[in-house]
Amino acid sequence: GGSATVTGSAGDHAAGAYPGSRLGVRGGIVRVGGGVGAEAAARMRRGVLVVGGSAGPFLAEGMVAGTAVVGGVIGRHAGAGMK
């Protein structure tokens, strides 16, 4: 898998599935120095998301065999439906 580094913050759906998509990141690593918005790492498969700041609601919702690391506050419903 590949890798991406964001030195600032990322918006909604970082490393996750965009509305209408079935899957988010499938392997690889995404590093975000700041925070991420809602549904980050949603439906991610075997990928890694590292967030230096806080994460919005539904972090890692439906994620399968992946890893999400957050250095700040995590919003509500984190990990809902995670397998």
Q: Taking the chain (83 residues) in consecutive chunks of 10 residues, what is each chunk's mean pLDDT?
A: 94 92 92 97 95 97 95 96 90
Strand order in the sheet with 67-70: 3-6, 29-32, 48-51, 67-70
pTM assigned to the model: 0.92
pLDDT of residue 55: 98
Residues in contact with 20: Cβ distance below 8 Å, sequence separation at least 6, in sequence order: none
Nearest-angstrom CA–CA distance, 54 and 3: 20
Whole-angstrom distance, CA of residue 10 vs CA of residue 80: 21
Q: What is the pLDDT of residue 78?
A: 95
Instruction: Say which DSSP state 67 is in.
Output: E
Task: Determine contact, residues 17/23, Cβ cutoff 8 Å.
Answer: yes
Give me the residues paired with residue 69 across strands: 50
Q: So what's the pLDDT on residue 1?
A: 79
